[in-house]
Amino acid sequence: MNKKALEYAEQSGEQPTIADILNHIALNQMNLVEFDKAQENLDKSLDIDLKTNYVFGLSSTYSIMGRNYFKQNKTTQAIAFGEKALDIAKNMGLKSNISSISGALHEYYKSAGQPAKALDMYEQSVSLRDSLQSEENQRALIKNEYAYVYEKEALADSLSHLQEVTVLNAKNERQKNLLWSFGIGAGIFSLLSFFIWNLNQKLRTKNGIVKKH
């Protein structure tokens, strides 16, 4: 999957995308304990990050490099690359990256027998993680509030539309009743007119007969 994606990225020439995919491939290789192959891909990714000034990618690459060294029990190198990754993340204000990298450095310093620095990294990681969670909760609260307002407005619009339809239906019903009333009235008038005309005809006929006699 990653290799196919890498081929497409190389064809398109998107260097930052290529660097990101190489990092993903390296992570998979690390899980397979193929540390040398992982390092080769990380070196390629690092070269792209530096040439294209892909700072976000640079922080990620350094962080993964640190993890790769730590898995090989090379704690000194792991700390060095972890600190590089952390510096870049802090300069860019990437809270999520800072939290995860600090968490990794906590492991590295703890393994290196440096409890004070390990504790400092742990506190940074937890603090930022709580901050991110708080921000996420705030975003969820705002989202729910907007959703409530939207639903309230939608309900008001629906009720208004229903009222308009009800008024229109009532108006149409009144017009229909008026038409029926007019039709019935016109029919009655026609019948009455015919009755009067017929009566006059009979009277005229009768008068004519009387005059002859």
Percent share of the chain, pLDDT over 90: 46
Please give the mean pLDDT across all residues of the chain. Answer: 80
Task: Read off the pLDDT band of 141 (50, 70, 90).
Answer: very low
Residues 143, 42: Cα–Cα separation, whole Å: 39
Q: Which long-range contacts (CB under 8 A, 24 or more apart) does 43-49 make?
A: 44/19, 45/18, 45/19, 45/20, 48/15, 48/16, 48/18, 48/19, 48/22, 49/19
Whether 174 has a pLDDT exceeding 80, the answer reads: no
Entry pTM: 0.61
pLDDT per residue as tens digits for the range 109-119: 999 999 999 99
Residues 166, 169: Cα–Cα separation, whole Å: 5
Residues 11, 1: Cα–Cα separation, whole Å: 16
